[in-house]
Amino acid sequence: MSAVSRSLRTASRSLRLQSSTNFPRTAALRLSSRTTAKLGAAPRLSAAVSIAAPSRTNSFSTSATRQSAPAMPLEGREYDPEIKDIADYVHNKPIESELAFDTARWVFLDTLGCGLEGLRFKECTKLLGPVVPGTVVPNGTKVPGTDFQLDPVNGAFNIGAVIRWLDYNDCWLAAEWGHPSDNLGAILAVADWITRTNKAGGNLAGGKQFTIRDVLEGMIKAHEIQGCLALLNSYNKVGLDHVVLVKVASTAVVSKMLGLSEKQTADAVTQAWVDGQSLRTYRHSPNTMSRKSWAAGDACQRAVSLALKVLKGEPGIPTVLSAPVWGFYDVLFKGNKFEFQRPYGSYVMENVLFKVSYPAEFHSQTAVEASQKIHRQLKEMGKSAADIKAVTCRTHEACIRIIDKQFKPMDNFADRDHCIQYMCSVMLVFGRLEATDYTDGGEAATSPLVESLRQKIKCVEDPQYTQDYHNPELRTISNALTVELNDGTTLDEVVVEAPLGHRLRREEAKPHILAKYKRHLGPHFSESQVKELIDLGMDGKKLEAMAVDEYVDKYVVKDSKFV
């Protein structure tokens, strides 16, 4: 052996011995942190470990396992307080806000209507039904607008997918955005299945038979969990899709519905956080595609599946968020902990945004409304979109980050319904924006004028609009359009700060929400059935008292022309 080799071996041995000598001190620091942690101290545990353990750095390394403390039994470990807060809210927080229940009723009707409208698109219906064609699950979940009767896991996917397909259900905008009514896919599937099973002599969840009021309460809580986790925490900035919040919220709510204890609900929520999370790439060029329309259905499906596994005795992962190196915060959230603006209550449902006027990504709703006003103005002037030289859209930062796609190709439906320039152009050219305007080969998608105008619309951020967007007292989604014509004329800027479905315009919106619901019922049911569903939906007390299975049966369609 050469002298050089002997020197290297000696140095290597010395380093290994030094590392071995240092290990017990690091492990002792970690163990001390765990044994002294009190209720709600999990985040401090994470910080203590970060100081004690040099392995917790931005560079991910499996060498950290060699520095881990001896494993403690799961039942002896404190849960992350973020997990305990969710479980405590679901099990112990009564919802007393009548405003929340009234809003939830409108959300419920609107969401079911959006699902029915989604059934009119073959790209959606091809994904629906049982995994094995022809399978009918006795006492299973029924899928509105169809005659499918499925197990609750697949039922949650079916209902969740149709709800979200057209991007037309409610919306929540904050540091993260999303659509809290996506959770209805899981909530309705589980409530329907449990109720039918127990009426047939089963004993799920202690024999519980759910009413629509129970469903509305579940929606309020799912809205609140998803919305509060989104207020100050951006998942898209680390590349994660917002449906992770649908999975977490749905898991929490359906766990309680299934009769799980508070601890079991915490276990199920930890399983949702540790589960593989969806990347946002399917929402952005160059990979924009239809998965964005069924991603929420997938989240609902996963939520029910995970809750059922815990029902069978599967344990949780107590420090799923804060565990050094391997937890959610270190692996997927750049080492940052969640921040919270407010405790869980009913704030989100009370302030949720309805999509009333247009099947358009919500950050563009006010821009499309402004475009509609400009279309009318041009018509009154004897001009049209062909006379437009340039458009400036003064907007908020989130809009620019998500749907500003001035020069990106519009290859499919998913590209078009997430491009503010395309949506405004369609409205400016045709004076309308409908779901069919996004389809390949359609009048709007093939219009040379729409395409040329799209590339003339420039977005610029207004910092005040961005501040107002995050202000909990305002929560506006402002857009302002200034149009310059070919003849040199510049039209006055058209500003719309709050869309029609905003809390500040809620009463104004209700007749439009009802008209939208009626419009979505029409293609599936007879006039008498449409009237029955509308009358029932407007009678809050009667609707809330109805058994879930009896209400869902009113939406069953045998031999649907769309499925």
The predicted structure's pLDDT at residue 547: 98
What amino acid is encoded at 59 in this protein?
S
Cα 140–chain centre separation: 25
Q: How is the chain split into domains, by residue range?
A: 88-354, 362-499
Would you say residue 317 has pLDDT above 60? yes
CB atoms within 10 A of CB 54: 11
Determine the Cα–Cα distance for residues 158 and 152; give it in Å rounded to an integer: 10
Evaluate if residue 333 carries a pLDDT over 80.
yes
| Residue 32 region by backbone torsions, left for phi larger than 0, else alpha for psi between -120 and 50, else beta | alpha
Average pLDDT over the chain, rounded to whole? 89
Burial of 122 (0-12, 13-18, 19+ CB in 10 A): exposed
Dihedral over Cα of 129, 215, 121, 367: its sign: negative
Residue 478 burial (C-beta neighbours within 10 Å; 0-12, 13-18, 19+)? buried
Question: What is the three-class DSSP state of 70?
Answer: coil
Percent over 90 (pLDDT), the chain: 82
Q: Is the pLDDT of residue 25 over 50?
A: no
Tokens 């998965």 map to which residue? 291
Mean pLDDT of the region 459-472: 95
pLDDT at 531 over 50: yes
CA distances for 496 relative to 254, 395, 462, 508, angstroms: 38, 10, 13, 15
Q: What's the pLDDT tens digit per position in 492-513?
A: 999 999 999 898 899 999 999 9
Please report which confidence band the pLDDT of residue 360 belongs to, taking 50, 70 and 90 as the band edges.
Answer: confident
* Pairwise CA distance, residues 426 & 134, whole Å: 41
- β-pair type (177-178, 457-461): unpaired
> Do residues 123 and 291 touch, judged by C-beta distance below 8 A?
no
Least confident of 51-55, 484-488, 511-515, 524-528: 51-55
Eight-state DSSP code of residue 171: B
Decide if pLDDT at 163 tops 80: yes
CB 299 within 8 A of CB 244: yes
Whole-Å CA distances, 37 to 33, 325, 464: 6, 19, 43
Tens digit of pLDDT for each residue in 263-302? 999 999 999 999 999 999 999 889 999 999 999 999 999 9
- Is there a common fold for 88-354 and 362-499? no
Q: What's the pLDDT tens digit per position in 433-446?
A: 999 999 999 999 99
On whether the CB atoms of residues 226 and 248 are closer than 8 A, the answer is yes
Partner residues linked to 150 by β-bridges: 141
CB 558: neighbour CB atoms within 10 A? Answer: 6
Rounded Cα distance, 462 and 193, in Å: 49
Whether the Cβ atoms of residue 33 and residue 45 lie closer than 8 Å to each other: yes
Mean per-residue pLDDT, 152-156: 98
Q: Name the DSSP letter for residue 492.
A: P
| Arch. (CATH architecture) of 362-499 | 2-Layer Sandwich (3.30)
In 3D, which of 49, 53, 57 has the Cα closest to residue 66?
Answer: 53
* Between residues 358 and 16, the one the model is more confident about: 358
**Helix, strand, coil content of the chain in percent (nearest 5):** 55, 5, 35
- Mean of pLDDT values over 414-427: 96
The DSSP secondary-structure symbol of 499 reads -
Contact 311, 258 (CB under 8 A): yes
Assigned architecture for domain 88-354: Orthogonal Bundle (1.10)
> How far is it, in rounded angstroms, from Cα 289 to Cα 95?
38
74 falls in which pLDDT band (50, 70, 90)?
Answer: low
